[in-house]
Structure 1
Amino acid sequence: MMLRVTDQTMTMSAQRSLAASQARLAAAQAAASSGQRIGRPSDDPVGAGESLRVRAQIAAASQHQRNIDDGTAWLTTLDSALGSATGFLRQVRDLAVQGGNGSLNQNGRDALATQIDSLRKDLLGAANTRYLGRNIFAGSSDAPAAFTDGAPPTYSGTPGDTVQRRISPEQTVRVDGDGAAVFGTGADSVFGILDAISADLRNGVDPTGRLQALDAAMNRVVAGRVDAGARLSGLQRAGTENMTERNALEQRRSGIEDLDLGKAVLDLQVQQTNYQAALAITAKVLQPSLTDFLR
């Protein structure tokens, strides 16, 4: 049986072929312009799903890096404050040793006591160091100061309360200092020891008997600084690992989403050639007559 192919059938078939060629050209142009292999999920459903998953991992890694940067700033501030506190206590120890000199008159002892009182004030300032408006020695407390001035100062933080930063899906790092553990509380605090040394000097009493307690307090401050330094080193290592991870994820995302530029240009040229050929062939095959126009 023979099938008759009419002019209308040929016209419709040519139009469909021409439209398909034009659509392929438009897709090639869009891909070359955007540089993206996946313009919509339907272009590659599996690739689109993998791309979303990788992008979520990149976003999480970027947040972890921001946490690392913030934690590094906290611990750097903490290390600086503890370094200052250690220096103040060493000066107090030297003054206390001088105060034990039996040949020193009372005026000399009073002068040493005044210097110790000034160092105590500086030490209290270090203990009340803040970062971005928050006390670095009072955990999450929103009190105006970690230690309120008094005789001795009162600690305003909550024991065991910490400030943590998540630096990976499995790891968090403490970024604040335990003020109660570092400086002590009540009469046994480092401030209480300094008050006692100052009082001994003003009363003409040899203050060297308190050197053992002062050394123990200084050791607590030094131990706090060592701990902060160890945490800071850990954050720096985590920052390096995070950068490596983000670079790997970005390469993976690029492999899924980004288009090979050379291949894209070649494909665009091929589609342009195909479209121009389709136009020329269609124009030659379908020669509309006056009857077709009138119809």
Structure 2
Amino acid sequence: LDLGLSTAIQSRDDSTADTLFPSIPCVDPNMAALLSVTLGGENFRVKIYPDDVLSSTPPKVDQLKVIKQIVKQVNATSGSEVLGYSALDAAAGRGALYAKNGESLRIADLPLSDPSFSPSYSAGIALQMGLASGLTSPSIPDNTLSGAGTIRIESPGRTLDVAISAGDTPLAIADKIRKAGGGWLDVTYFDPELPAVGSGARIGLASKDGSPLSIYDVEGDVVSTVLSLDNAVRGDADVTGWAPAAGDTLSLTVDGYTHTLDLNGIFDSNSSGTIDAEEVAAAINSRFQGQDIKAALVDDGGGQYLVLTSPRGYSIEAGGSARAALLGTATATASRAGSPSARYTQNVVVRTASNGQKTDFFGVLDNLVNSIKAEDREGLSNIMLGKVDAFMENLLKCRSSQGALMKRYENNQARFKQNDIYLTDLYSKISDIDLAETSTKFAMAQAIYQSSLAVIAKIVQPTLVDFLR
């Protein structure tokens, strides 16, 4: 999982905290928990009944039984073995779910079927087990009141700002996100002890297309303090008027690699004579091409603050001599993955087979142009030129392969022409006739036939009786 090679969703270790069905007065205790399992482009609805998954000693949810139920119901509905599982640690209830056909796998809790509850409220089975895709908050007090603020949710190609009012509870915030997200986001809220106040609630957030999410505060501290759901390096140092000191560097570690930026060597795009925070953000975006790390500036209370996110869901760690001046006390992203991972900030499954994504050569050229404009020499030499060389090498391989195919085609074409001549000659020998010989034989046969008729006519002479008949 930490190497980024896992193609499975893994459940957490339940030895420290039990997975529970919600205890709600006046609600049928045998009501099923509903899950949505998306495999590739096909969606399956799974019902988890307490009697099927509760262990007797002690009475808690057996996570492996839940996993087996998910596999059983999905495979039964699809009519084939599309989903599999592995028991990683039976004593700790740890297991893994994976798609047998290499398709992307996504799991989310669905709302309770009781209409008297908020549409965001669910039984939270996947959320508690760490199977829920996307971001998962730790246990948070359900009665915490937020201050006013704005939160931003991003995924590749999408950005959503949600205004939060002073006095909003976690459930009210979850409902606002769900309403603003529409058909893009799955928002899950779980509170194990309704209507008790102060119990530990959880919030889950996932994109319905399975892409990683980034969430952070634009204004206020709703996401970081009330929800504990932020997964960005959101600086708390005002960078208005910032300029690098001599020798200042900013190092960013992501996906196992550390990239160091010489802040005095950044291109001065506005020709102001000094480097500012906006140009630092542009240099970061040029270096990473909006893939592993994305940088932005947000306005909060009259100040500007630097924010680092990962469109791929990677964990980020910042360092260097300019880190404190640019980011303040923020040094790294927090893990919001249901299953703890040092590599990702959320539950992410590596896509294989039909879900793979590739960048074409024209996209690489666009990135190359951006790097040249930003004068990102290190990015050009270490990243972009390598990508161009890789495409050129692949082009040569394709040309060689196509040349071999053309040679085979030409050889086959020549062989087919030769075969056509041979078969035509053979057919001619079998079906054609000698006209002179055949004419002679026909004349002889005709003479014999006429002679036969004449002989028969002489042998059988007609009489008057024949005519009278």
Which of the pair has the greater relative contact order for Cα pairs under 8 Å at 6+ separation? 1
Q: In proportion to residue count, which structure has more strand?
A: 2
TM-score calculated relative to the size of structure 2: 0.22
TM-score calculated relative to the size of structure 1: 0.33
